[in-house]
Structure 1
Amino acid sequence: REFESEIRFYSGHDPLDVWDRYIKWTEQTFPQGGKESNLSAVLERAVKALNEQRRYYQDPRYLNLWLKFGDCCNEPLDLYSYLHSQEIGTTLALLYITWAEVLEARGNFKKADQIFQEGLQRKAEPLDKLQSHHRQFQMRVSRQTMLELEESSDETDTGLLGAAEPQRSSLADLKGRGKKKVRAPISRVGEALKATNQNRSFQTFTSQQLSNNPGFAVFDENSASGLEIPVLTPQPWAAPPVPRAKENELSAGPWNSGRVRSLKRPRSSANSGVEVPCPLPSFTPYVE
């Protein structure tokens, strides 16, 4: 309220000072921003209220208000173009540095370098700060270009290695080949493939030498006329196996659905002194 009343009844020669202090107080009071700070609305009011004051166009305080307002906008690049067209902050290095950083973040390195070059041609102040940021920008672009070249060369080398040396697929489904005689497939790559070819040529040479000997045949896993794998036929049991002896094993039988009858002792009359004898049970208990 104090700042609002000071802005309303201000009669001094530097109204920008009041807005600048008002913005700084808002940022310090509400460092997290949000709706409570109402910072974007205050910034919009400040730049509009001072828009007719051309003496502030090259003032760093006024440019700082515009750049903070640009952070609240959806498209800050449009705001920077507007500032450039209105000659607001065009002699200050902060405009070109902020503009180029946004373009660099979006990957438009060529346009960012053009913004830096324009600021250097205008000799925006402070010039040493602008030159320092431009050198750092060039180093980042050069580093990014080198990384992209290394990644592309690595991908090319990987492609060439993959074409020259095929990789064996692991955990793949094995599909048998052949209709009558199913054989498991053999997958070899690299040195194993070369060794297999050498063994195959040696086996061919050996089979030619021993073709006249009918006593045995050389086994070739890759030839179509290989030896048949013997098939195991099930043999019947001579007698069923004896089961294990189980503890507390009961023979099968019907469940007893009868109820246990309880023996009730007849009540004796309290008045009569004659004791009624208890009935004898209908079964004989077993005594060891």
Structure 2
Amino acid sequence: REFEAEIRFYSGDDPLDVWDRYIKWTEQTFPQGGKDGNLTVVLERAVRALHGQQRYYKDPRYLNLWLKFGDCCKEPLDVYSYLRSQEIGTTLALLYITWAEVLEARGSFKKADLIFQEGLQCKAEPLDKLQAHHKQFQARVSRQALLALEESPDGDNTGLLEIAEPQRSSLADLKGRGKKTVRAPISRVGDAVKGMNPNRICQPQASLQLPNTPSFVVFDENSVSGPEIPTLTAQSWPAPPVPRAKENELSAGPWNSGR
């Protein structure tokens, strides 16, 4: 109630601070989520309240809010593409790391690598953190490529090998030797490939419309065929948020027309 009152009567110059503290308090007080916490509802309200405030587009707090909101949506990739189209968080490493991790968990290794490359080209900060995550990703892909070669030496694993670390690129030569079992030294770096959390995908419950954003840029899963940055196609986004559970359902309401 204190946060609700502070939000309602806030007159300061940093409304994001109130929402940031409110969300952190909700996460700490209700770590298991559920109806009492209503984290999804709080996140959706925050997105609505702060929509269009460009002064926050490079603020890590604002990006973090959006990424948490994406976790509550049926398709988080749509949210990440929307953030890029609006240039929200595109200077921050966390956007590319989170985006690439979701793609990797789905087995889209080449697309995940492209997202990392895009962040590196933008010199997203902190750059050293982005570079470290990219190297760990390459090491995981290298390990998976070697395991795939051992299990199926005649299979087509060149895609994984292309993404692997440069010093491991010579592993592609192993494929043409025709051996049933391929053995090569592996320097195991980083965690195993992360599994997709089945609870991440949830059923549609509420609709949310963003004002002054008639089109929503969606990352086309089937559009990437080469090493270039994937081409984005504009598509409508009539109802992005989807709460995890029915008890968190928030009835649809109109947006404020002004930015």
- TM-score between the two structures when normalised by the length of structure 1: 0.53
CA distance in 2, matches of 1:37, 1:46: 15
Residue aligning to 2:74: 74
Q: Residue by residue, what CA displacement relative to the aligned partner does 1:98-135 show, whole Å, maximum 9, x if unpaired?
A: 00000000000110000000000000000000000000
Distance 1:134 1:22, change over 3 A: same
Q: Which residue of 2 aligns with 1:22?
A: 22
1:90 matched to which residue of 2? 90
Unaligned segments of structure 2, at least 5 residues:
156-177, 181-259
Deviation at 1:34, TM superposition (A): 1.4
SS at match of 1:66: helix
Question: Which residue matches 2:39?
Answer: 39
Q: Which residue pairs with 1:126 in the alignment?
A: 126
How much does 1:154 deviate?
A: 9.8
Aligned length: 158
Matched to 1:138, the amino acid is Q
Stretches of structure 1 lacking an aligned partner (at least 5 in a row): 159-288
Deviations 1:24-66 (A, max 9, x none): 1100110001122110010011011111211001100000000
Runs of 4+ in 1 over 6 A off after TM superposition: 154-158
**Secondary structure of 1:34 counterpart:** coil
Q: One-letter code of the match for 2:113?
A: D
- Equivalent AA in structure 1 for residue 135 of structure 2: R
Q: What's the counterpart of residue 105 of structure 1? A: 105
Aligned position for 2:56: 56
Letter in 1 for 2:83: L
Q: Determine the structure 2 residue equivalent to 1:13.
A: 13
CA displacement at 1:153 relative to structure 2: 3.6
Amino acid at match of 2:42: V
Larger radius of gyration: 1
Q: Deviations over 1:51-90 (max 9, x none)?
A: 1211001100000000001111111001000001010000
Instruction: Write out aligned runs for 1:146-185 (5 A).
Output: 146-153=146-153
Counterpart-to-counterpart distance in 2, 1:17 and 1:36: 22
Structure number with higher relative contact order (C-alpha < 8 Å, ≥ 6 residues apart):
2
